[in-house]
Chains A and B, each alone.
Chain A
């Protein structure tokens, strides 16, 4: 402004013409439009919390300590609200999934970051993307028609597995999360500085030693993030658990039994058009709150590990 005061002609040229004013107006309108679009994502989160909490607290006020019981039968009369079977069912299925997915997912990540040539990487990456793109309903179908009758029923050593089994659901959920572990861990391992690898090679380490002792350690926080995010994904998986492990909330430690997870209960109870305010309607929000809270904590934790990793190497 001080420069404009010095010469009269400059004042003329710097005064905004109608054209300039119009483009500034367009910009401010567009920025406001974008800012309000940004708020929609916040609104979704607020909406989720608002949809879950009031109903959850209302129900908790009614049933209080019953949630610590061992029988989950909210849709029957008399209703029972012990969540233990849902917790064990969820835990067993997620555990089996992790046992399957950790070695294979990490193997894929190490293969991509340290073993594959550029061309091989270009082939293997899309394969993992295709695996990630198989819909859960197809994995569930495979678990129900192939894994349960042909694998679990024939070879499971404990008890007498029937059409629905937790171990089948765990296996299919494991396949679901392999690509998640592989891609997040590969991102981490691939961004470990080359110099670290070269230093280890110079000391006489073999490729395996470089990959497992140097790269895996250097990228550990990224690998931990991959495992946490995969755990969260398995935890919230609905369709596979519902199709393969069935919808009977059995309190059992035998993975050959049918089980219900928290997520699959929501899907199961939601199928019947529950009446607003009925106990069936309220329990799905209670279970939803637990599901949402646990996955939220896991995701915050996982993303924090990822950002710690990025700060270190990028």
Chain B
């Protein structure tokens, strides 16, 4: 055996072998560089602002004095805005996905149009959602102003197509035999969907929704247009309340060239990354847990 394999290998010319090796090296370097970049960015942020990290940073409100400056109002603002965006986008998204997968019937022109619409909505640049928010929600017909409510609707619209697409995939992954069994026993379509399809699709939907929500948490562009880039020293108290969000609090400090504000921006980035990594980790653990539970 050993002799055959060597004789086979020797037929590959040196020129080809060099190209093979350099190609493999190039692929490995690309992967390692991507990984290294993640660590490097965290290292640089930590190097810059690590000494600032303490609970005070989360507890204090924004200030021009670095010793008493913190991110409480922007973290609370992010939680309020993203929380309400989730309350809007997840139910609407899940209902849309259920309708398209289970109730809309065979593919026809109407569903094809809706699908095309959702696909393209997912590709609309985030900042354009800020424009619709500005024209119709903050100003114009709704005139809700630069409030938590306006921002929540805008971010909700932004993650809606993502949640629809993810939920549809989760629904499609449920074996059709589950539902067919229930239908054969005389259940209505809705009973079969409600009792069998939805419970099986929950893990996939939950994982995907958390990822979509974490995207909303890190999003900054659309809310630039909704007045979130302001110096807010209070926590939101309701939907009509003014607000800022963590990514834009970072942006605000970063746009000031003074050294101490750069440190604050780096510290804010570390907090934001920590929140997003925690959400992603939770999503991954949830996926693993439910997969394991189903296998048993």
A residues with a Cβ closer than 8 A to B are 23-24, 26-27, 30-31, 33-35, 37-38, 40-42, 44-45, 47-48, 50-52, 55, 103-104, 107-108, 110-111, 115, 124, 126-131, 133-142, 144-146, 163, 175, 178, 204, 206-209, 211-212, 229, 232-233, 235-239, 243, 263, 266-267, 270-271, 273, 276, 284-285, 288, 291-292, 295-296, 298-300, 302-303
Collect the chain B residues with CB atoms within 8 Å of residue A24's CB.
Answer: 188
Given contacts A24-B188, A129-B280, A145-B266, 12 further A-B contacts (CB under 8 A): A23-B188, A34-B96, A35-B99, A40-B96, A41-B92, A50-B136, A51-B134, A136-B220, A137-B248, A138-B218, A238-B127, A263-B125
Pick the contact of B128 from A141, A207, A236, A300 — CB < 8 Å? A236
Identify 5 residue pairs between A and B in the complex whose beta-carbon atoms are under 8 Å apart, listed by A's number: A51-B132, A104-B34, A138-B45, A238-B221, A270-B224
Nearest to A37 among chain B residues (CB) is: B95
Collect the chain A residues with CB atoms within 8 Å of residue B95's CB.
Answer: 33-34, 37-38
Determine how close the nearest CB of chain B comes to the CB of A29; give it in whole angstroms.
Answer: 9
Task: Report, nearest first, the 10 A-B pairs whose CB atoms are least far apart.
Answer: A236-B125, A135-B218, A270-B225, A299-B123, A51-B135, A37-B95, A107-B30, A34-B99, A238-B221, A27-B190
Collect the chain B residues with CB atoms within 8 Å of residue A115's CB.
Answer: 24, 27
Q: Is B35 an interface residue (CB 8 A)?
A: yes
Nearest to A42 among chain B residues (CB) is: B117
For the residues of A in contact with B, the DSSP-based class is helix
Collect the chain B residues with CB atoms within 8 Å of residue A204's CB.
Answer: 11
* Stretch with Cβ within 8 A of A (4 or more), from B79-87, B157-165, B177-185, B234-242: B157-165
Contact mask B19-59 → A, CB, 8 Å, 1/0?
11001101110110111011001001100100000000000
Complex contact B247–A145 (CB within 8 A): no
Given A133-B214, A208-B20, A285-B135: A44 and B121 interface contact (C-beta under 8 Å): yes
Complex contact A236–B34 (CB within 8 A): no
Determine how close the nearest CB of chain A comes to the CB of B248; give it in whole angstroms.
Answer: 8
Complex contact A267–B224 (CB within 8 A): yes
Complex Cα distance, B129 from A136, in Å, reads: 16
Pick the contact of A41 from B24, B118, B214 — CB < 8 Å? B118
Complex Cα distance, B276 from A31, in Å, reads: 35
Interface centre among B16, B38, B221, by most A CB within 10 Å? B221
Complex contact A133–B123 (CB within 8 A): no
Complex contact B126–A236 (CB within 8 A): yes
Complex contact B272–A163 (CB within 8 A): no
Nearest to A142 among chain B residues (CB) is: B41
Complex contact A45–B121 (CB within 8 A): yes
Collect the chain A residues with CB atoms within 8 Å of residue B220's CB.
Answer: 135-137, 238-239
Pick the contact of A276 from B48, B120, B139, B247 — CB < 8 Å? B139
Pick the contact of B266 from A50, A141, A236, A273 — CB < 8 Å? A141
Determine how close the nearest CB of chain A comes to the CB of B195; give it in whole angstroms.
Answer: 12
Complex contact A212–B160 (CB within 8 A): no
Q: Is B291 an interface residue (CB 8 A)?
A: no
Complex contact B117–A140 (CB within 8 A): no
How many pairs, one residue from A and one from B, have CB atoms within 8 Å of each other in the complex?
Answer: 259
Determine how close the nearest CB of chain A comes to the CB of B89; give it in whole angstroms.
Answer: 10
Given A138-B269, A236-B125: A146 and B44 interface contact (C-beta under 8 Å): yes
Complex contact A34–B103 (CB within 8 A): yes
Complex contact A37–B136 (CB within 8 A): no
Complex Cα distance, B27 from A175, in Å, reads: 16
Contact mask B80-119 → A, CB, 8 Å, 1/0?
0000000000011001101110011000000000101111
B residues with a Cβ closer than 8 A to A are 11-12, 16-17, 19-20, 23-24, 26-28, 30-31, 33-35, 37-38, 41, 44-45, 48, 91-92, 95-96, 98-100, 103-104, 114, 116-132, 134-136, 139-140, 146, 157, 160-161, 164, 188-191, 211, 214-215, 217-221, 224-225, 227, 229, 247-248, 250-251, 254-255, 257, 262, 265-266, 269, 272-273, 276-277, 280, 284
Collect the chain B residues with CB atoms within 8 Å of residue A292's CB.
Answer: 124-125, 128
Given A41-B117, A41-B161, A243-B251: A48 and B124 interface contact (C-beta under 8 Å): yes
Complex Cα distance, B270 from A90, in Å, reads: 29
Complex contact B26–A107 (CB within 8 A): yes
Collect the chain A residues with CB atoms within 8 Å of residue B276's CB.
Answer: 133-135
Complex Cα distance, B123 from A232, in Å, reads: 8
Complex contact B121–A41 (CB within 8 A): yes
Complex Cα distance, B125 from A121, in Å, reads: 30
Complex contact B189–A103 (CB within 8 A): no
Collect the chain B residues with CB atoms within 8 Å of residue A27's CB.
Answer: 188-191
Complex contact B30–A104 (CB within 8 A): yes
